[in-house]
Amino acid sequence: MATISTTSPRARGMTKDERFIILASSLGTVFEWYDFYLYGSLATIIGAQFFSAYPPATRDIFALLAFAAGFLVRPFGAIVFGRVGDIVGRKNTFLVTILIMGLSTFIVGLLPNAATIGIAAPMILIGLRLLQGLALGGEYGGAATYVAEHSPPGKRGYYTSFIQTTATFGLFLSLLVILFTRTILGEADFAVWGWRIPFLVSVILLGVSVVIRLKLSESPIFQKMKDEGKTSKAPLTEAFGNWGNAKIVLVALFGAVMGQGVVWYTGQFYALFFLQSILKVDGYTANLLIAWSLLVGTGFFIVFGALSDKIGRRPIILAGCLIAALTYFPIFRVISTNANPALEKAYETVKVQVVADPAKCGDLFNPVGTRVFSEPCDTARAFLASSSVKYSTVPGPAGSPVKIVVNDKDVPYTDAKAANPVITAAILAAGYPKAGDTDIVKLSNPFDIFRPQVATLIGLLSILVIFATMVYGPIAAMLVELFPTKIRYTSMSLPYHIGNGWVGGLLPATSFAIVASTGDIYSGLWYPVIFAAMTFVVGVMFLPETKNVDITKD
């Protein structure tokens, strides 16, 4: 790690050049995240376009797996582009990453579907997703490093916190473009061809980003090192083959980034998933609620980034992990109470049991969605889980048929692979709400937010976003400060993208798999709670404070 500086912070405002550097780095990253999130938001429609040869459930699984592929390759992008960034330079490397990301996204908008070119369509789509993930793996480290190396001492947390807003703004921008296009075209046309428009629009954003980034000069710290011939010849070996630096990489991953990743994804992605898939809030309302919470909470990235310049990065990041771990369960319960009160009431009062021979009951944990359940015990439980019904599994006599018991009343069971009207009628009669129930929160327009039910939900969702800003606002400055200049791009990028791309990115699918396997709609929260708590413990024990580090040293 670099040495401590005694230089006092500059008592001046941000210069015009510094504002341009932050704008150029942040704007390009906003557009990259916009590109990346488009696919996730439109996964169902894309599945119908490119995996149409398969049944609906299978095509959705393939679409989500293609989306996950982008997350899985991010660490490899970090290795590839991190090495290039430490040898060639920061500016040119993250100029290349945005070109790859933007062109890949634009081509998705032009790509013929499976009905037109057959199996080539999904193969090309997956290839484009892999390119997007690789590019994103190299983008963040370059942008964060570039801004930090232009920041005055004592203000790195504040300056780099603008980079931290980019993922949220990218998500927000993608939601707005999708909602606007859907509203103008209508759902039918949007599903057939209108979904391509947000992808095609990205070429305009790409052009703006490239023009702006071409005006940037190389990082002065890196340029000085390059002029003196002190750049690393083997960044990967120095970063990960040297135990002194590799140890810091591990501390950064387990003591900071891992918890940051799960808190960030819980506050923005899992919250959206929880509203739609578990609480049965319609997609329009759920997206608007998340959009409003992002609007309310995003400014706190800057607040906590600036605060970290005064009190340190470590206490804010670890406090965010600890508070999140302690409060997720009560916050999500109150979200349920307000979003779907009838479901929350039924959850507490209706007793549902699946009585079956234990030998015929398998494990429903299926995060990648590739397993097919055939045993009646498994299909019954999967059906109840997808209906957001709390159930318990009770051992029955060996060889006995599966029996569903709702409030101590036996319900005939046939086959719940797709639907079972008898079970559905029984759980509705017991108190579970049907789809479209009038008590479920619903927004009539984007500004229908002043009703107590809606305002409360926006407030709760905003708290989740604020947790994310606590852990995410100071993280870029800390990662830059942990590593020496000549291997900084490589060293910081890998733990960031493992923590975010793997641990965080797989959170929604894994958490829902936990819900399905346990019959408890809140059990999926154990995933972020455990990882956030682990990060807090490791961080308290091993993570150093970095705010006074002099990053100009080799």
172 burial level (CB within 10 Å; 0-12, 13-18, 19+): buried
- pLDDT at residue 24, as a whole number: 80
Q: Write the CA distances from 544 to 241, 258, 317, 443, integer angstroms.
A: 21, 16, 12, 46
Whether residue 144 is found in the same domain as residue 122: yes
Mean pLDDT of the chain: 86
Q: Number of structural domains, the chain?
A: 3
Whether residue 82 is found in the same domain as residue 225: yes
Question: pTM of the prediction?
Answer: 0.87
Pick the closest to residue 172 from 263, 298, 29, 46 (CA basis).
Answer: 298
Whether residue 220 is found in the same domain as residue 277: no
Q: Which helix (H) or strand (E) holds 394?
A: strand 392-395
Whether residue 187 is found in the same domain as residue 51: yes
CA distance 404 to 409: 8
Whether residue 40 is found in the same domain as residue 134: yes
Q: Are 545 and 312 in contact (CB under 8 A)?
A: yes
Return all residues near 88 (Cβ < 8 A) that are at least 6 apart.
none
In this structure, what are the phi and psi dihedrals at residue 356, rounded to the nearest 5 degrees?
Answer: -155, 160
Q: Looking at beta carbons, which pairs linking 122-131 to residues 24 or more positions away fall under 8 Å?
A: 122/50, 122/51, 122/62, 122/66, 125/46, 125/50, 125/66, 126/66, 126/69, 128/104, 129/39, 129/66, 129/67, 129/69, 129/70, 129/104, 130/69, 130/70, 130/73, 131/100, 131/101, 131/104
Residue with tokens 């852990």: 471
Q: Are 538 and 318 in contact (CB under 8 A)?
A: no
Could you tell me if residue 553 is inside a domain?
A: no
- Per-residue pLDDT, averaged over 151-164, amounts to 89
Q: Which domain holds residue 373?
A: 345-430
Whether residue 208 is found in the same domain as residue 249: no
Pick the closest to residue 274 from 527, 535, 533, 532 (CA basis).
Answer: 527
- Per-residue pLDDT, averaged over 297-317, amounts to 95
- pLDDT at residue 327, as a whole number: 98
CA distance 260 to 272: 18
Residue at which a domain ends, from 430, 455, 490: 430
Is the pLDDT confidence value at 554 over 70?
A: no
pLDDT, tens digit, for every residue of 231-267? 778 788 887 888 888 999 999 999 999 999 999 989 8
Q: Are 305 and 474 in contact (CB under 8 A)?
A: yes
Can you point out the beta strands (E) in 149-293?
Answer: none
Could you tell me if residue 272 is inside a domain?
A: yes
CA distance 37 to 31: 10
Q: Are 34 and 173 in contact (CB under 8 A)?
A: yes
Nearest 10 degrees: CA dihedral of 105, 111, 115, 117? -130
Could you tell me if residue 8 is inside a domain?
A: no
Whether residue 165 is found in the same domain as residue 119: yes
Look at 11-15, 111-115, 273-277, 409-413 and tell me which has the smallest mean pLDDT: 11-15
Residue with tokens 């398969």: 54
Residue at which a domain ends, from 361, 396, 430: 430
Q: Which two tokens stand for residue 92?
A: 């040119």
C-alpha distance across the termini of the chain, in Å: 9
Whether residue 534 is found in the same domain as residue 470: yes
Whether residue 268 is found in the same domain as residue 251: yes
Residue with tokens 């590799």: 246
Report residue 41's pLDDT band, with 50, 70 and 90 as the boundaries: confident
- Per-residue pLDDT, averaged over 305-324, amounts to 97
Residue at which a domain ends, from 430, 453, 487: 430
- pLDDT at residue 55, as a whole number: 64
CATH code for the domain of 27:
1.20.1250.20
Q: Are 333 and 344 in contact (CB under 8 A)?
A: yes
Could you tell me if residue 3 is inside a domain?
A: no
CA distance 411 to 414: 10
CA distance 276 to 288: 12
- The amino acid occupying position 341 is P
Q: Which of 173-182, 261-270, 308-317, 432-441 has the highest mean pLDDT?
A: 308-317
Could you tell me if residue 7 is inside a domain?
A: no
263 burial level (CB within 10 Å; 0-12, 13-18, 19+): buried
Strand order across the 352-356 sheet: 392-395, 352-356, 403-406, 409-411
Percent of the chain topping pLDDT 70:
93
CATH code for the domain of 400:
3.40.30
CA distance 202 to 35: 7
In this structure, what are the phi and psi dihedrals at residue 219, rounded to the nearest 5 degrees?
Answer: -55, 130
Is the pLDDT confidence value at 65 over 80?
A: no
Is the pLDDT confidence value at 35 over 80?
A: no
- Per-residue pLDDT, averaged over 179-208, amounts to 88
Whether residue 529 is found in the same domain as residue 404: no
- Per-residue pLDDT, averaged over 272-298, amounts to 88
Could you tell me if residue 11 is inside a domain?
A: no
pLDDT, tens digit, for every residue of 508-523? 878 888 888 888 999 9
In this structure, what are the phi and psi dihedrals at residue 527, rounded to the nearest 5 degrees?
Answer: -60, -60
Whether residue 38 is found in the same domain as residue 98: yes
Look at 62-71, 150-159, 467-476 and tell me which has the smallest mean pLDDT: 62-71
Could you tell me if residue 412 is inside a domain?
A: yes
Whether residue 120 is found in the same domain as residue 81: yes
- pLDDT at residue 249, as a whole number: 93
Could you tell me if residue 5 is inside a domain?
A: no
